[in-house]
């Protein structure tokens, strides 16, 4: 497949799933600009692994910083030539805790990153996509935003917000050939899941139970989640907008 020939894609968050999105876009002929937050070493490694013609650059970004987000979006447009798709894979949740035990600073930070981060990015990319008369916005969220999930209430609230926000944007932008969708992964084999499964407390207990409950009887590979994400970020998804699509091995069927 050559879904991304002539296309420029900004991937925000080059972690486990984000890195795989970068690789698939590159393999399908596209150009990628990606961001990282704290993990500079992994970003350097990802940058070095992408084919030269496909890699347009990378930058450090905290999506809660509105001005920095706008600046990095501008930087990516300059590097890519034009911005055809935005894929956001940013997440803050790394530990499961019952809501009554979470401090409010963590609740606020979670919502700042997982919901306002997505909103800040949309605010910056939309005028550019509108001017081009084309765009794809895909956010990798979570099934917790559809069905709730124990011990991640703040994150579930943020993810639910992302789904509703994306549906509203989809309605506002459909006539400009801009599609806005959300991918909701179930447990996916990245460093994030590995860390949670190995936890000896509540996170490990709940995540191991969740993986056992998946009808497919295994976690997803990052490639399986990236594959749906890339489809939605491509021109082929021209008639799909306002959707929150689960890639969860049947864990959630709603
Ligand atoms: N893996 C799973 O089982 C699973 C299941 C359901 C949903 N998800 C969701 O899918 C998404 C990707 O997951 P993943 O497994 O690939 O996780 P990951 O490897 O931890 O990736 C998360 C990414 O978010 C970036 N990030 C964190 N805080 C940020 C901030 N303030 N500003 C900008 N970037 C920030 C991280 O950058 P640095 O690493 O550079 O700090 C990293 O690239 C996340 O939203 C996650 O919650 C994952």
Q: Residues of the chain with pLDDT > 70: what percent?
A: 100
Which whole number is the average pLDDT over 198-202? 96
Long-range contacts of residues 48-51, Cβ cutoff 8 Å, at least 24 apart: 49/23, 50/22, 50/23, 50/26, 51/26
Q: Give the pLDDT of residue 150.
A: 96
Asked whether residue 1 is domain-assigned, the answer is no
Distance of CA 211 from the midpoint of ligand 1 (Å): 19
Which whole number is the average pLDDT over 172-200? 97
8 — pLDDT class (breaks 50, 70, 90)? very high
Domain count, the chain: 1
Distance of CA 175 from the midpoint of ligand 1 (Å): 31
254 — pLDDT class (breaks 50, 70, 90)? confident
**Which residues sit with their C-beta closer than 6 Å to ligand 1?**
13-18, 36-39, 61-64, 89-93, 113, 117, 140, 142, 185, 187-188, 190-193
Atom of ligand 1 lying closest to residue 191 CA: 19
Beta-carbon contacts of 191 under 8 Å, excluding residues fewer than 6 positions away, are 15, 16
Is the pLDDT score of 239 beyond 90? yes
251 — pLDDT class (breaks 50, 70, 90)? very high
Is the pLDDT score of 113 beyond 80? yes
Show the tokens assigned to 18: 């984000």
Q: Of 160, 153, 165, nearest to 126 (Cα)? A: 165
Atom of ligand 1 lying closest to residue 16 CA: 16
CATH of the domain at 172: 3.40.50.720
Show the tokens assigned to 116: 């306002």
Asked whether residue 253 is domain-assigned, the answer is no
Is the pLDDT score of 133 beyond 90? yes
Atom of ligand 1 lying closest to residue 62 CA: 32
Output the furthest CA–CA distance in the chain (Å, rounded). Answer: 51
Asked whether residue 146 is domain-assigned, the answer is yes
Which whole number is the average pLDDT over 179-187? 97
Atom of ligand 1 lying closest to residue 113 CA: 31
Q: Give the pLDDT of residue 93.
A: 86
Write the residue with the smallest CA distance to atom 30 of ligand 1. Answer: 62
Tell me: the pLDDT tens digits for 72-100? 999 999 999 999 999 999 999 889 999 99
Question: DSSP for 106-151?
Answer: HHHHHHIIIIIHHHHHHHHHHHHHHHHT-EEEEEE--THHHH--TT
Q: In terms of residue numbers, what domain contains 119?
A: 8-247
Asked whether residue 100 is domain-assigned, the answer is yes
3-state secondary structure of 235: helix
Q: Give the pLDDT of residue 138.
A: 99
Distance of CA 103 from the midpoint of ligand 1 (Å): 21
Tell me: the pLDDT tens digits for 60-69? 999 999 999 9
Angle at 27 between CA 123 and CA 131, to 5 degrees: 30
Is the pLDDT score of 2 beyond 80? yes
36 — pLDDT class (breaks 50, 70, 90)? very high
Q: Give the pLDDT of residue 1.
A: 80
Asked whether residue 3 is domain-assigned, the answer is no
Asked whether residue 254 is domain-assigned, the answer is no
Average pLDDT, the chain: 97
Q: How far apart are the first and last CA of the chain?
A: 30
Contact assessment for residue 85 and residue 138, using Cβ atoms and an 8 Å cutoff: yes
Asked whether residue 21 is domain-assigned, the answer is yes
Which whole number is the average pLDDT over 111-125? 98
| Residue from 12, 37, 39 whose mutation best tests the ligand 1 pocket (most atoms within 8 A of CB) | 37
Q: Of 152, 154, 149, nearest to 113 (Cα)? A: 154
Is the pLDDT score of 237 beyond 80? yes
Asked whether residue 64 is domain-assigned, the answer is yes
Q: Of 227, 229, 252, nearest to 240 (Cα)? A: 229
DSSP letter assigned to residue 100: G
């Amino acid at each position: 497949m050559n879904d991304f020939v002539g296309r420029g894609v900004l991937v925000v968050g080059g972690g486990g799933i984000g890195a795989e999105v970068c690789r698939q876009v590159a393999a399908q002929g596209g150009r990628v600009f990606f961001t990282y937050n704290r993990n500079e070493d992994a970003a350097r490694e990802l940058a070095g692994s992408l084919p030269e013609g496909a890699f347009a650059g990378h930058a450090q970004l905290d999506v809660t910083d509105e001005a920095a987000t706008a600046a990095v979006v501008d930087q990516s447009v300059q590097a890519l030539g034009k911005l055809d798709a935005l894929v956001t894979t940013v997440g803050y949740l790394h530990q499961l805790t019952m809501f009554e035990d979470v401090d409010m600073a963590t609740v606020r930070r979670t919502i700042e990153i997982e919901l306002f981060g997505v909103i800040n990015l949309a605010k910056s990319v939309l005028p550019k996509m509108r001017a081009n008369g084309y765009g794809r916005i895909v956010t990798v969220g979570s099934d917790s935003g559809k069905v709730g999930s124990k011990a991640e209430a703040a994150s579930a609230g943020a993810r639910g917000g992302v789904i509703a926000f994306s549906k509203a944007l989809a309605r506002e932008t459909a006539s400009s050939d801009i599609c806005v969708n959300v991918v909701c992964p179930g447990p996916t084999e990245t460093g994030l899941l590995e860390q949670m499964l190995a936890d000896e407390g509540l996170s490990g207990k709940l995540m191991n139970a969740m993986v056992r409950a998946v009808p497919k009887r295994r976690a997803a590979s990052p490639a399986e989640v990236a594959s749906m994400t890339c489809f939605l970020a491509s021109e082929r998804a021209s008639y799909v907008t306002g959707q929150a699509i689960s890639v969860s091995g049947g864990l959630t069927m709603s």
